[in-house]
Amino acid sequence: MKYLQTEAIMGDNDSSDDAIPSTQRVELRLAELEQQLAKLGSDAPESERVQLELDCGYALLELNRFDESWALARALFDRALEIAEWQQAVEACDIMFQSDKPESIPALAQGIWIGVTFPIDPELTVAMLQHLIDETPDKSDGAAVAAAVANYIVDIRANDASRENLLFFTNQLLGQVARRHSQVEEQDIFDFWVQQLELDNPEKFLPRLATVLDVLVAGQWWYDKDLLRQQIPD
């Protein structure tokens, strides 16, 4: 999977050297991306340029160059919104979150709202929600709501090629949250827990997620949500 952190959820413990990119390999990759950017003509689509720069941002993260990755991603976020490239905007928020800056949590919330609102790659939306779960205290209902939304997004968006793996992942994620939240282990207790928290009703858990995001951004949204809603594809 491209975006998801699967080790803790699915037991992916591959520890081979190939699984850990060396610093030199990442630096070479970054240099190649910068060369590709330099070769782009002035008539190249803006989305192509933004994607290459996002790839640079992820490389900078791997190199722990967090000041640079944050600055790059913050600028790319605005550019992605201008050209209505919603997935690229969320990727920029993903980079900002992983850059470990004071505004990383608000950046995560900005990206989650777009990732849930617009029909982007469901794996990326789930990855953003996984970040939120990881940042949420064990006993908080916020993690449960985020896990329920992740499962719902996969159910309504995933195509046949990715659906089975993603549903397995989000079901495992929800089970993990249930154990953290209420020490739930048995299936019948899990079913009761889901019903009690109304995690089987999107009309309940989606507004609750919106409330969580509002708290995280502290009223400082980087865009007008009402204007963006007008651009949701039919």
Nearest CA to 198 out of 189, 188, 208, 183 is that of 208
Residue 15: per-residue pLDDT: 47
71-94 pLDDT per residue, tens: 999 999 999 999 999 999 999 999
Percent of the chain at pLDDT exceeding 90: 79
Mean residue pLDDT across the chain? 92
Question: CA dist 114 to 12, 71, 107, Å?
Answer: 29, 20, 11
- Output the six-digit token pair for 71: 């600055």
Residue 14: per-residue pLDDT: 52
- Output the six-digit token pair for 29: 């990759």
In contact, 111 and 127? CB cutoff 8 Å: no
Decide if pLDDT at 208 tops 80: yes
Domain locations in the chain as residue ranges: 20-101, 104-220
CA 51 remoteness from chain centre: 16
**Sign of the dihedral through C-alpha 72, 75, 80, 81:** positive
- Which amino acid does the sequence have at 79? R
Q: Residue with structure tokens 């920029």?
A: 92
Q: How far apart are CA 205 and CA 191, in angstroms?
A: 16
Q: Residue with structure tokens 């993990």?
A: 176
Which pTM does this prediction carry? 0.92
pLDDT confidence of 215, banded at 50, 70, 90?
A: very high
Residue 107's contacts (CB-CB under 8 Å, 6 or more residues apart) are: 74, 77, 93, 96, 97, 101
Q: How far apart are CA 157 and CA 149, in angstroms?
A: 12
- Output the six-digit token pair for 62: 């791997």
Q: Residue with structure tokens 């081979």?
A: 16
Give the residue, 142 or 2, on which the prediction is more confident. 142
- DSSP states of 174-187: HHHHHHHHH---SH
Whole-angstrom Cα Rg for the chain: 18
